[in-house]
Amino acid sequence: MEQRVAPSQASEPAIKRKNGNRPVKGLWKKVRKPLADSRFVKGAIVHLFVQAMRFIRMTNRVVPGSIRFEGSSYQDLEPGIVALWHGQHLLMPAVYPSKRDLVAMVSRSADAELNAQVIEKFGIEAVRGSGGRDSARHLDKGGAKALIALKKSLVAGKNVCMIADIPHGTPREAGMGIVLLAKLSGRPIFPAALATSRRKVLEKSWDKTTINLPFGRLAIAVGQPVHVASDADDAEMERKRQELTDQLNAATADAYRLVDSPR
């Protein structure tokens, strides 16, 4: 005959486990916000990231074929819009390939606050906003303000940088925001990519975030500049969006080919 377990007995281990986790969770909830708001903690994290990025840059040999803007056809087209893919851009502040001042769009999310502080340590100005929308007509207020600020930077002779694909959208598919900026400013888009031979790819992340590692080879590749006419209609904007997608994917493939080829 099957022996039944009283409900109070059956649920006892689960209750104990739940209660056992409560002190740790409770403590974390109490300290999480003060840590996030602490200037000291933020400063320490930013310092560690900056030093790590400089170390990785210093210990990676730049391979022949890696792009520098000085003395190239890209220099003649500056100022322009540097386009990167999500997850492939983390080391770029330490290896920015131009001597021209740079302004970068950084998300307005709380998590991106550290990103803004890190790039500012490399002399890059941060503009907070989101410009990757799939429709130029549906930019939110913050995104529109950011695009205006980036346009002003271009007029002032600075390069600007945007992540081309939409956060948590389709990875490596350009959004319309960056194409709109090119239309409004009259400046070209430089589809750029960075790669290192030693790297860790976070396969479970939506954008396959790549952590660059030290003691390897490094390369920057730039595709054909994408120009958008000031009178471009919706069909032409879509064509330019796809052109940018193709050029960014080609630049990414070139960067990995340069660092992964036997030397």
Query: What domains are there in the chain, each with its CATH number?
Result: 43-260 (3.40.1130)
* pLDDT at 8 (0 to 100): 46
CB 171 within 8 A of CB 124: no
* pLDDT at 16 (0 to 100): 46
Its pTM stands at 0.83
pLDDT single digits (tens) 87-114: 999 999 999 999 999 999 998 776 678 8
- Cis peptide, bond prior to residue 79, ω within 30 of zero: yes
Shortest CA distance to 254 belongs to which of 221, 226, 216? 221
- For residue 18, CA distances in Å to 29, 30, 125, 235 come to 16, 18, 46, 56
* pLDDT at 27 (0 to 100): 60
Size of the chain in residues: 263
Chunk the chain into consecutive blocks of 10 residues (it has 263) and report each block's average pLDDT, rounded to whole numbers: 48 48 61 64 90 98 94 94 96 96 88 88 91 54 84 98 90 95 98 98 94 98 97 98 98 98 81
Q: Per the structure block, which two tokens stand in for 121?
A: 């340590």
* pLDDT at 47 (0 to 100): 94
- For residue 167, CA distances in Å to 54, 112, 132, 175, 250 come to 26, 12, 8, 10, 21
Q: Work out the number of other CB atoms within 10 angstroms of the CB of residue 101.
A: 15
Is 109 exposed, middle or buried, given 0-12, 13-18 or 19+ CB atoms closer than 10 A? exposed
